[in-house]
Structure 1
Amino acid sequence: MKAFLWAAISAVMATCLASPSSAQETDRAVLEALLSGGGKGLEVTEDFAKAVPQAQLEGLVETLIAQIGPVEEIELEDGTGTVRSAGYQVPVRIALDAEGRLAGLRFGTPEPLVADLRTAVAALADLGAEVSWLVTREDAVLAAGGAAHPLAVGSAFKLGILSVLAREVRAGKTDWDRVLRLGEAHRSLPGGRLQDFPDAAPVTLHTAALLMIAESDNTATDLLLDLLGREIVAEELGIAPEVMLSTRELFALKSDPAAAHAWLDADPKERPAIAAAAALQPPDPVLASGMWLPGIEWYVPLDRLCALILPIADLPMLQLNPGPAHGLGPVAYKGGSEPGVLNFTVVLRDAEDRAVCAALTVNSPGRIDEQAATGAFRALLRRVVAQP
C-alpha cells in the first residue's frame, strides 16, 4: 500500500507542476500549512484540484507524516528543497501560480537518515527474501553482502551487452553509427518504444544502445543481442550460454507455463530450442507481467555488474537516466526489475573524485517495496559519497 501511495504522489501530482514561484517565503508558508494541516483551507488552482481532489491530497499528506513522523525542518529554495523529520528526509518541489495558489507539488522517495555506512547497509537486509549488496571505491571494498552470489537482476543484464558493444567499437570492429534493421523476431514487450517501429526500420547502434540503457528498451536489447551473439554476451555476464535468454524469450516463457516448466526441466542443451519455439508467438503482455519464475531470468552477481559498468561509466547512454541516484551528482546507472526482482547498479564520484560503484539486488517470492528499497539505497549512496 505504501508503494502505491507514493507512486500516486509521483504520477498524479507531477501532472500539475508549474514554474516555481519566486516568493520563497510564500512557498514555505504553503508547504508548512500543507504538512501541518493536510491542505485544509489552502487555495489551489483549478487544474490541481481536478488532478488531486482535496480528500486525496489530505490522504497523501497523512500517509507521508505517518511514514516519516513529524516534520522538524524544511529547506526550500526556488520551490525545490527537502523536508526532514527525526528519521527521514524527503525531496520536495512546490509551485504556486501568480496569485499564490498551489499549482504543483511533488514529494520524492523518503530516505532514512543514517549516521554511518554500517547503519545504511543494515537497512538493506530486510528488503526481500534474498538480498545482496556491494560498495567499492577504486580497488577497495567498503561493504559487501552476498556480492559474489548470482541473483536474478532483470534488465541489469543489459550491461553485458553494452560492455561487449563498447569493446568492439573501441577495437574498431564496428562503429556507433552502423545501421541495423529491425525484424519481427526482435520485437519484444515494453519498456521502450522500438516494439512499435515498422519492420526493417533502420536503427543505429548508438540509438539502440541508448534506448536499451536509458529506457530499458527490450526490443533494442534483442536487436543488439542478435548482432553480438549470445555466446559472447553470456561469457561477459559469466552465465552459461544455454540459459542466455533474449527478453522476448523470457516474456514468452512467462506467458506459457507449459513451455516454462519444460525449459526448467530440460537438459541445458535443449533449452535454447524450447525458448526459441515459445518465442515464435508474441508474448502475452498480461501473463508476462506476472511474478518472476525462479530460474528463468538472468542471474549475475554484483561483483560482475560493477566490473562491467566501471570501465564504461563515461558512456553517455549510462548517464541519461540516473534512476535512484537522481540529484546525487553525475552518475552512470542501469538497473532492472520485474515483480519479485529488483536491481540498482550505480557508479558515482565521492567528494575526492574517486569512482564508487554501489549495487543492490533483491529477490523475493512476493512483491518488493520499491519505494523502501529506493530510499534505503539513496541513504547508502549518500553515506558512501561522504565516507572518508
Structure 2
Amino acid sequence: MRTAIPAQSAAAVSGRVGRRGAMMIDVPGSVESASGAAESALARDDTPLGVQARWALDLLTGVRPVSQETLAGHFVSAFLDKHPQGFPAVLDAWRDQGPFRLAETRLVAHKGWLTLEGPTGTRHALSVIIDSTGLIRILQMQPETVVPEVHSWADVDEALRIPGVDSSFLAARIERGRRTVLHELAAERPMPTGSAYKLYVMRALVHAVDHGELGWDDEVVIRPELRSLPTGDMQDLADGTRVTVRETARKMIAMSDNTAADLIADRLGRDAVERAVRASGHHDPSLLSPFLASREVFELGWGDPVLRKVWTEGDESARRRLLGQLARPLTVRSSDLGPTVHQLGLDWRMSAYDVCEVLTALAQDSARDATGTVESILTEYPGIAIDSEIWAGAIFKGGSCPGVMMFCWLLEDHEGVRHVLVLQQASDEQRLIGDGLLLRGIGARVIDSGLLGGAKRTAG
C-alpha cells in the first residue's frame, strides 16, 4: 500500500436536536454549545452518505407526515417494501422517543452511525447505509450498543467473554516478513467467517489478471442463476447488464456485494478459487472444499430441507454433485433467513491465522500491482475511521451470517510495518451475536488504543 487514506475523524461530538429541529442559542463551553458544532460538521459533509445521514436525522425532527414520494426519493424500493404498514408508522414510533441529543457521529464511506440521546438519557444508534446510487438501503434505530473501553489485552479478552458465543482474536505485527503475535485468543480455531471468503475470490482474481487470463476492463454479465441476496446492490440490476470486472471487484470488497462475488467466482471457476485458498496458506483447505458461492449457502441453508440433508450427509464428491444441481435462480428470499446453519458446514471456515495469511498475501499483491487497481479496491472501505497520521493504509473485510460475525484489518504504518487484527464470533443463536456493532467497536477500540503499534507502538 503506497497512498495514505484521507483522515476521517472518529471523535465523538455532542449536541442537542429539538423535535422540530429548531436552532438553539447555546452557552459557549456547554454541552449545548457542541450541538451547533455537531450539526455544522454534518452540514458540511457533502458526501452521498453525509447528505443522507443529515436527511435521516431531519426525519426525526421535521414536520409530519412525510410523503411517500419524498421517501421514495431517498430509499431503495426494497427498504420501503419491508414495511407493509408503511415506514411513516415506524418513523412516528422513533420520533416519540425524542427529542434527541446528537451524541456521536461516525460516517465511513457508505455506512454511518448516529448516536442519539433521548430526554431520559437513553441512547439510541441510528444506522444509515447507502447503496452505490446514493439511496438509503438500511435505516434502523435501536438501543445503543455499549462498547467497553480497551486499554489492555485483558480488556479485549473480557469484552469477548460472552456466554454462548465462541470467540477468536489475533493481533500481530509483520515486519521484514516476520510475524510477531501481540495477542491471541483461540486464534487457531477454525471459525465460520461469512463474507471474509471474498478475500480468496479477490486473490484468485488478481492471479487471473496477473497471468493474462482476465482483464480489469473485461465484463461480467448479470444472469438470473448468478443473482444472490444482499448485501450489495448488483442483485437489483436487470438481466443482461454488463459490468466491468474492476467495478464488480470493487463492489465485492468495498460493499461486500454477494452477487458481485458470485459473478467473479463464476467467471474464474470454482477450481481457481480453491487454488487461491491453498496458495494463500489456509491451514486446512478441505474445510473450504467445495468452495461455496453465496447463493449456494442461501439456497442450501434456508431452502429445500431435502437438499440440506443431502449436503450434511454427503462427502465432498456428493456435495460437488449437489452444487451442480443449483445452477438455477434462487428460490430463497432474505425474509427466509432464520436459524443458524454454519454448524452444517454452510459457511467458510477460517482460523484467525488463516485470515492473517490471506490479508498478508493480498497486501503483497497490492504492492506488486503497478497500476494501483488492487490497492484502490482493497482500501476503499476501511470499516472504521482510520487516523492517516498513524496509518498509511488499511485493508478491511467484515463478514456475517446468522450466528456469525467477524471483522479483520491489515493496517500499514508510515514505516511500512504491517499490523493485522482479526476478531471472530460464532453462536448457535443469532440474538447472542447481534448486529456487529460490538465486535466492530472492539476492533476500533484496539486500533485507537495503540496496542497494535503504529505511531503509538507500545513496548514489547
Sort the TM-score into its range (normalised by shorter chain): 0.7 to 0.9
Structure 2 residue 158 is matched with structure 1 residue 122: yes
Q: What CA deviation, in whole Å up to 9, does each residue of 1:242-277 have, x standing for no partner?
A: 431111111111222221121110122011222332
- 1:101 matched to which residue of 2? none
Contact 1:128 1:362 in 2 (8 A): no
Structure 2 residue 168 is matched with structure 1 residue 132: yes
- 1:6 matched to which residue of 2? none
Taking the TM superposition and a 5 Å limit, the aligned residue runs for 1:316-335 are: 316-323=376-383, 325-329=384-388, 330-335=393-398
- 1:149 matched to which residue of 2? 189
- 2:108 matched to which residue of 1? none
Moved over 6 A (4+): 20-24, 80-83, 90-93, 105-108
Q: Which structure shows the higher helix fraction?
A: 1
Unaligned runs of 5+ in 2: 1-15, 36-56, 65-90, 106-112, 117-122, 127-140, 367-374
Structure 2 residue 420 is matched with structure 1 residue 380: no
d(CA) in 2 for partners of 1:152 and 1:164? 20
The offset of 1:81, in angstroms, is 12
TM-aligned CA distance change 1:346 to 1:27, over 3 Å: farther
SS at match of 1:155: helix
d(CA) in 1 for partners of 2:163 and 2:207? 35
Contact 2:311 2:319 in 1 (8 A): yes
Q: What CA deviation, in whole Å up to 9, does each residue of 1:188-231 have, x standing for no partner?
A: 11111221222232221111111111111111111111122212
Q: What CA deviation, in whole Å up to 9, does each residue of 1:127-184 have, x standing for no partner?
A: 7522111111112111122222211100110000101212332344432112222322
The offset of 1:124, in angstroms, is 1.9
TM-aligned CA distance change 1:208 to 1:23, over 3 Å: farther
d(CA) in 1 for partners of 2:26 and 2:304? 58
Structure 2 residue 340 is matched with structure 1 residue 292: yes
d(CA) in 2 for partners of 1:311 and 1:297? 22
Contact 1:169 1:175 in 2 (8 A): yes
Contact 2:27 2:33 in 1 (8 A): no
TM-aligned CA distance change 1:23 to 1:159, over 3 Å: farther
Normalised to the residue count of structure 1, the TM-score between the two structures is: 0.72
User: Among residues 233, 247, 250, which one is paired with 1:210 in the alignment?
Assistant: 250
TM-aligned CA distance change 1:171 to 1:296, over 3 Å: same
* Matched residue type, 1:220: A
Structure 2 residue 58 is matched with structure 1 residue 29: no
* Matched residue type, 1:116: S
- 2:61 matched to which residue of 1? 48
- 2:305 matched to which residue of 1? 257
Q: How many residues align?
A: 330
d(CA) in 2 for partners of 1:132 and 1:374? 14
Contact 1:256 1:278 in 2 (8 A): no
Contact 1:154 1:337 in 2 (8 A): yes
User: Among residues 320, 327, 330, which one is paired with 1:282 in the alignment?
Assistant: 330
TM-aligned CA distance change 1:29 to 1:81, over 3 Å: farther
Structure 2 residue 320 is matched with structure 1 residue 272: yes
Contact 2:228 2:258 in 1 (8 A): yes
User: Among residues 98, 102, 105, which one is paired with 1:57 in the alignment?
Assistant: 98
d(CA) in 2 for partners of 1:24 and 1:311? 53
d(CA) in 2 for partners of 1:91 and 1:387? 34
SS at match of 1:143: strand
Contact 2:172 2:182 in 1 (8 A): yes
**What is the aligned-residue identity percentage?**
26
Normalised to the residue count of structure 2, the TM-score between the two structures is: 0.62
d(CA) in 1 for partners of 2:212 and 2:180? 32
d(CA) in 2 for partners of 1:135 and 1:118? 13
TM-aligned CA distance change 1:350 to 1:120, over 3 Å: farther
Contact 2:229 2:259 in 1 (8 A): yes
* Matched residue type, 2:158: A
The offset of 1:287, in angstroms, is 5.7
- 2:147 matched to which residue of 1? 111
- 1:102 matched to which residue of 2? none
* Matched residue type, 1:334: K
d(CA) in 2 for partners of 1:328 and 1:164? 30
* Matched residue type, 2:98: L
d(CA) in 1 for partners of 2:448 and 2:358? 23
TM-aligned CA distance change 1:290 to 1:47, over 3 Å: closer
* Matched residue type, 1:317: I
* Matched residue type, 1:303: Y
Q: What CA deviation, in whole Å up to 9, does each residue of 1:338-375 have, x standing for no partner?
A: 12001101112358652111011111011203222222
Structure 2 residue 224 is matched with structure 1 residue 188: no
